[in-house]
Amino acid sequence: MLRSLCFSILFIFATTLLFAKEGMWIPTLLQKYNIEEMSQMGFKLSAEDIYSVNHASLKDAVVLFGSGCTGEVISEDGLLITNHHCGFDQIQKHSSVGNDYLTNGFWAMNRSEELTNPGLTVRFLVKMEDITSQMATKLMDNSGKVSKLDTTTQNLERIKKEYLAGTGYSADIKPLFNGNQYFIYVYEVFKDVRLVGAPPVSIGKFGGDTDNWMWPRHTGDFSLFRIYAGKDNKPAAFSPNNIPYHPKKSFAINIKGLKEGDFTMIFGYPGTTQRYLPSQAVNLIMNQSDPAKVAIRTVKLDIWAQQMRTDPKIRIQYASKYVSAANAWKKWQGEVKGLNRLDAINLKKKGELDFEKWTTTNSDRKEQFGSLPSDFEKVYSEFKQYLAANDYYTECIKYGSDIFALAAKLDAIKSITDHEKLAAELKKLREYLVTYFKDYDQTTDEKVWSALMKLYVAKVDSKYIPAKLSQLITEIGSEKFAQKTYRKSLLTDSLRIKELLNVFDQRSIKKLEKDPVYGLYKMIRLGHLTNVEPNFRSLTSSIGALQKKYTLALMEMNSGQRMMADANLTLRVAYGRIEGYKPADGVTYKCFTTLSGILEKDRLDFPDYKIPERLKELYRTRNFGPYVNQSGEVPVGFCASNHTTGGNSGSPVLNAQGELIGVNFDRCWEGTMSDLVYDPDQCRNIALDIRYALFIIDKFAGAGYLVKEMNLVK
């Protein structure tokens, strides 16, 4: 049964309160549900100024950067700003011991020096539409209401084809409200995106893992790229003849200054939230899954850190891997802490009691939804054991060591029989191997592989791993085991793998199957596929069906209120104010940081707080240019009450006039549980003040020509 959907902020607790700062809102519905409230908070524009398909709007300056970040256009010549950590992979790929752009930074002093990034794309949203009714089948229940959505691949592709006919665009169809509604998102995709500038990690990642997810923050987390197009201003593959893209809209940059209480708006692509999970799911996350994943990654990160300290080449090779793994590792710790502080399980249970009361007051509701609490209890009780085994497999085997990741890629192409498809996949694999071995150190990976193998067999219930693997428990982690397995593998040798792939025939496959690492990977993978994955997938599907039904019930229960659709890496708007918070008894955090705070953290013996001499000189000579606050200090960061999550990295932070004032890059640690439960007193987003980025570009890097192509509001 489908009902018309309302979009509201929902607290599934006994007391329902509305907070303007909670929510990631669908742009097409702002006029109906949000714009009045935004105006009351100080916003000066209309909903049409934010999102329109009929004329240029703010949405036309926002991009989905790569596969999971946001970026924004800041000049009429396609100049784009996003986070340093969003561009980190590209910066790392261009780096070597001889050209260490991570340590020294990179700045193109003219357009001919901008660096190409094969595979990097940016996507502009052309339009989004609710297509739920188009997906409805003709099946009817007794009341005459539509009872089913056709989500088959064939139907989704048919709808995409209708929307894309003759356009050259691409499209995604995404579910909202756990599959109770569907939207189509049409994009224009640009494939020639070049690196323009990036500060050194001592600025772009200042504070390192020590400050990650923390406030106060002093990180210059930004990088610059430029979008290129063909002569017709349309997307084109890389060509030296391409020209800078001229966007429909670029953001004006306001450098007048900020003050506490100012309205702020975030426009970007938040990745994933799970606001409507039942108490059983939250319990598993905070008491089993998050702690297990933290423990596994601690082992891997400790090994990487130790190895990276021994050799500058290894430091560069593993920089991007380390940053990526450490980010989630620290976030999970903050999430658990926040959920415990809020007593999230009991808060959910309290809301579930209200839900049960609501279902029992109506016989139809009781029949349709009354069994949900007991159904959740049963399925999660069974799911727990398979989730544990899957978490260890994912963290230790699937994404654990580099060598197992390579084994998985080889395994994937081994069974391809179509010659054309095999040739295409072999080409991709050969290209992958270039990057793989550039960022691979055998000793480092062997240490990781050995440690994670030992952890896997120690922590996973023996009934979920192959019997033969259990027999190796006494050997795993020993020097002898590594010598017999890892060091004898052809997967550690780039030349031997290239030779294997040159003529990938049955003889090559037999040689691969005799490889000790590949054989071990296959044995573990087969054990997981046999003993864990079928039940894990089946129970995940059952949970998904129950969650869809539960969300539908909550929508009925809260009919007439606004309801936030969970984030799913589609364009959303969040709004709030610049404001600090109180993280603990007797502690108050203000909402601004400055360059003075960077100098206060200066510690030569601590890499996370190493400050470039050039920055110190600029501070000593007060060579700040126009990029100062009312006190004559260079502002660095600010925190605000916008509801954000992963994917909002790089999102534009806009003022009441829709002008760019900052670049979002993080959340405070105390608020990382906001993907599950929101706390208006603790949840804060952290943003780079755009004036600090301009100061670094102009005064630190000497690339003031880039500032000249921007539209500054002074």
Q: Looking at the annotation, which residues are catalytic?
A: 85, 221, 649
Angle at 693 between CA 659 and CA 574, to 5 degrees: 40
Instruction: Classify residue 610 by burial, with Cβ atoms within 10 Å: 0-12, 13-18, 19+.
Output: middle
Instruction: Classify residue 139 by burial, with Cβ atoms within 10 Å: 0-12, 13-18, 19+.
Output: exposed
87: closest CA among 685, 663, 476, 581? 663
Using the structure block, give the residue that is written with the tokens 């975030």: 266
- Structural tokens at position 472: 């190796």
172: closest CA among 159, 574, 181? 159
Instruction: Classify residue 479 by burial, with Cβ atoms within 10 Å: 0-12, 13-18, 19+.
Output: exposed
Helix (H) or strand (E) holding 47, with range, is: helix 47-50
One-letter identity of residue 558 = N
C-alpha span between 705 and 107 (Å, rounded): 11
SS3 20: coil
Helix (H) or strand (E) holding 244, with range, is: strand 243-244
Going by their DSSP bridges, the two strands 122-130 and 181-190 should be labelled as: antiparallel
- Structural tokens at position 102: 């991570």
Buried b (16+ CB within 10 A) or exposed e, 241-271: ebbbbebebbbbbbbeebeeebbbbbbbbbb
- Altogether, the residues listed in the chain come to a count of 714
- Structural tokens at position 366: 């009781």
- Structural tokens at position 139: 């099946």
Using the structure block, give the residue that is written with the tokens 């423990």: 295
Structure-derived torsion over alpha carbons of residues 666, 672, 678, 683, reported in degrees to the nearest 10: -50
Beta carbons of 385 and 284 less than 8 angstroms apart: no
Using the structure block, give the residue that is written with the tokens 């905070």: 286
85: closest CA among 665, 608, 607, 598? 665
C-alpha span between 510 and 592 (Å, rounded): 62
516-531 and 506-513 helices cross at what angle (nearest 10)? Answer: 80
C-alpha span between 485 and 481 (Å, rounded): 6
Beta carbons of 130 and 191 less than 8 angstroms apart: no
Beta carbons of 347 and 302 less than 8 angstroms apart: no
- Structural tokens at position 611: 């400050």
Instruction: Classify residue 366 by burial, with Cβ atoms within 10 Å: 0-12, 13-18, 19+.
Output: middle
CA 316, distance to chain mean position in Å, is: 22
- Structural tokens at position 167: 């356009």
Buried b (16+ CB within 10 A) or exposed e, 333-350: bbbbebbeebebbebbbb
C-alpha span between 633 and 628 (Å, rounded): 5
What is the radius of gyration, based on Cα positions, of the chain?
A: 26
C-alpha span between 9 and 430 (Å, rounded): 49
- Structural tokens at position 62: 């926002």
Q: Could you please report the per-residue DSSP string of 605-623?
A: T-GGG---HHHHHHHHTT-
C-alpha span between 360 and 369 (Å, rounded): 9
